[in-house]
Amino acid sequence: MAIVNTNLTLIELVYWICSAVALGAALTATFMSSIRFAILSLWVCGLAVGGIFLSQGAELLAITQWIISTLGALCFIFYSVMLGEYHSEETTPLKRKLVSAILPTLAGLGFSGVIWLGSRSLSSANAGANALNMAPPSPENAHNLATIGKSLMDKQFLSLQILGLTLFLVVVGAGVIARPEMKEKSS
């Protein structure tokens, strides 16, 4: 008969608790009928995954996970309130719905294509150096948050600006889509 060591260290215990919470929250979000509670469950799942990262020694990854899951949950709540559960029955004709769905999609694809082509021309104009990838950090600066931040702001500034502009356009677009339509007055 083999003897199994059941003594868990505190880090292993935190790992398994966070794993159980993440799995439970993901399953809850999957089978939840209310979108607000599903978003809350996904947020808890993201926090638990950050706890898993923290228990494995990846502090920066854990903090990034917590920030991203919190901002994602806030955005989802914003969209669910504006576009989701609180709308009455739709009166927009199907033709107008198709036009309002296809034109922004084409504009987004065009914007993505321009960014992709621009990034390719930047990398080829840099004499063989890849302008989109950061150089790996030196071992003495590998875990220095200031070095990572400076590297992001120096080498990835354009990408961060494009990301910020895209997120801004998404929020404005959601506001435009969600605003109530004014009924035309018949004369």
Q: pTM of the prediction?
A: 0.46
- How many residues does the structure list for the chain? 187
Contacts 24+ apart (CB under 8 A), 17-23: 17/51, 18/48, 18/49, 18/51, 18/52, 18/55, 19/48, 19/52, 21/45, 21/48, 21/51, 22/48, 22/49, 22/52
Looking at residue 129, its pLDDT comes to 44
User: What number of other Cβ atoms are within 10 A of residue 119's Cβ?
Assistant: 16
Phi/psi-derived region of residue 128, left when phi > 0, alpha when psi is between -120 and 50, beta in every other case: left
Looking at residue 141, its pLDDT comes to 56
User: Which has the closest alpha carbon to 162: 126, 111, 117, 104?
Assistant: 111
Looking at residue 18, its pLDDT comes to 87
Divide the 187 residues of the chain into consecutive groups of 10 and give the mean pLDDT of each group: 65 84 88 82 88 82 85 81 60 69 71 64 50 50 65 70 72 68 60
Q: Report how far apart, in Å, the C-alpha atoms of 144 and of each of 10, 63, 100, 133 are.
A: 26, 14, 46, 19
Looking at residue 183, its pLDDT comes to 61
Contact by Cβ (8 Å): 39, 76? yes
Looking at residue 74, its pLDDT comes to 83
Mind listing the domains of the chain with CATH numbers?
Answer: 1-87 (1.20.120.1200)
